[in-house]
Amino acid sequence: MSETPWLTIIGIGEDGVAGLNAASQAALHAADVIMAPPRHLSMIPEGSAERIEWPVPFANGIAILASLRGKQVAVLASGDPFWFGTGSVIARSFGPDEWRAFPTASCFALAASQLGWALDKTHCVGLHAAPMARLRRHLAPGTQIIATLRDGGGVHDLAAYLNGAGFGDSTLTIFEHLGGPQERITISKAATLTGTFDHPVCAAIKVAGDGPSLTTATGQTDSTFKSDGQMTKRPIRAITLSTLAPKPHEHLWDVGAGSGSIALEWLLAHPTTRATCIEPRADRAARIRQNADDLGVEHRLTIINGNAPETLTGIDTPDAIFVGGGLSTDLLESVIALNTRLVVNAVTLEGEAFLANAQTQYGGELMRIEIAKTKPLGAKRGWSASYPVVQWSLNR
């Protein structure tokens, strides 16, 4: 890079300017403008640079920052700006030759070094601007989590969430003003947490308790999802997800979504997957939203309350499509035209005949899935068969 960029993103810790490296201090000294939240501005000694408080909501600050082109600008952020911080938002808003960054130790690194935890084996989660349910996928005994929190009140919200999920025995290590002269550390079980806490704050969680944990395989227990009975049950769902074969960054359409269990398991498969549920019944669409909220995947899910294929226009292109209900000739022609992975399940004779004709016309694979479970038969036991499911898959 031949010239020094006009914008410098500087990570600052609770020890203020004293903890900055030489490059960060030089960038601050050379700045015409320092832009930061009030707390960070208070850490910087008075000087000739203009000071601008970063506004709330955060997004409004980007336009202000853009208006400062032509000046040397330093933006202050907590710790490592690229760990759940402002760095990535600023970086994607400006050209790569316009900015540079000087991070300092993140709260995750500082907390792990206090606890002796291997950071590569610890889940790091940003809860300062996200619901507590983002923890759901990580809640299993023995798991280590470090989470940023919105403020002191967020500590009690965290404890209440863990309690409600059946993990009140989890050990919380609460860090206030971590790495600075006001640093305070509190250790407590989630179930017995008391006291007040100051911002900035983060928490380390050693998960313990007998609450239900999510499996790392496909096929979550049926009780994971709220449903009115219209749901692809666990064994069939596991096979269906295996056939859909979710991959990182892929987008699924779940047509006739019911409880949304297929889309939700798709979202649980990887933190970068996305899904769109198309469901004609408003009560079921609302239930899908509640399930997504409970599992902490709501931010990657779009729900469309309407009929397919009429509602399929204007949606982000899918990498895979699952049709679990409402199959018709018009719908089939619409999804076939997208030339993507397609999986369709049917349980009726009419649906089976429809899929047999589709396979003859378009190719792909047909699979008949028959499952039986034991049940009492007098003084002994016998097999009780479920309705067979015919699955047609087409990979284009």
pTM of the model: 0.92
pLDDT at 325 over 90: no
Token readout for 208 is: 């313990």
Residue 1 placed within a domain: no
pLDDT band at 2 (very low <50, low <70, confident <90, very high): low
Same domain, 369 and 235: yes
Same-domain check for residues 390 and 319: yes
Are residues 239 and 362 located together in one domain of the fold? yes
| Residue range of the domain that includes 97 | 7-104
**169 occurs within a structural domain:** yes
Residue 188 contacts residue 207 (beta carbons within 8 Å): no
pLDDT at 186 exceeding the cut of 50: yes
Domain membership of residue 167 (yes or no) is yes
Structure tokens given for 297: 């995947």
Based on the domain organization, do 21 and 155 belong to the same domain? no
Spatial CA neighbour of 284 closest among 324, 314, 250: 324
| Residue 62 burial (CB count, 10 A) | 17
Phi, psi of 193 (to 5 degrees): -65, 135
DSSP 253-289: EEES-TT-HHHHHHHHH-TT-EEEEEES-HHHHHHHH
Mean pLDDT of 227-242: 94
Split into its structural domains, the chain has a count of 3
Q: H/E/C letters for each residue in 192-229?
A: HCCCCCCCCEEEEEECCCCCCCCCCCCCCCHHHCCCCC
Question: pLDDT tens for residues 137-152?
Answer: 999 999 999 999 999 9
pLDDT tens sequence across 92-137: 999 999 999 999 999 999 999 999 999 999 999 999 999 999 999 9
**Per-residue model confidence (pLDDT) at position 295:** 98
In a domain, residue 2? The reply is no
Stated as kind and residue range, the H or E segment containing 186 is strand 184-189
Residue 270 tokens read as 């990887």
280 & 200 share domain:
no
CATH code: domain of residue 321: 3.40.50.150
